[in-house]
Amino acid sequence: MAASRCFLDVVKLTDPRPGTVVTLAAGSRLDLRLRSGRWYVASQPGNLLLVLHEESELSFLVFDGAAATLRLERRLSRGDVVGEVCEVRIEVGEDDAAVAGRRSA
């Protein structure tokens, strides 16, 4: 019996601009690389599963679900003071643009 392979679509974003909208296919992965600092997930859509969280790199698996906003906050070393916010609108679809990981701002 031949082994089947599953190829995972990976969409990579580096320092997304405010207003960024990303359309992803269900089953794909979203990799975010943000400017240096300690970033925290402040609000996460239910159809994203966080699988990697380093200081400035995050990776999510994408599942089918409604469009929603992923909100990340960079905290200052003085405690819980938010120094910067990154919001990315996540849309899940099955069209060709979703498979390719369409980005707009």
Is beta strand 29-33 parallel, antiparallel or unpaired with respect to 57-62?
Answer: antiparallel
- For each of the domains in the chain, give its residue range(s) and CATH number, in order of start: 10-104 (2.60.40.2020)
Which regions in the chain score pLDDT beneath 70?
A: 1-7, 79, 94-105
pLDDT at residue number 3: 52
Q: Give the whole-angstrom CA distance, residue 1 versus residue 62.
A: 30
pTM, whole model, 2 decimals? 0.79
pLDDT at residue number 15: 94
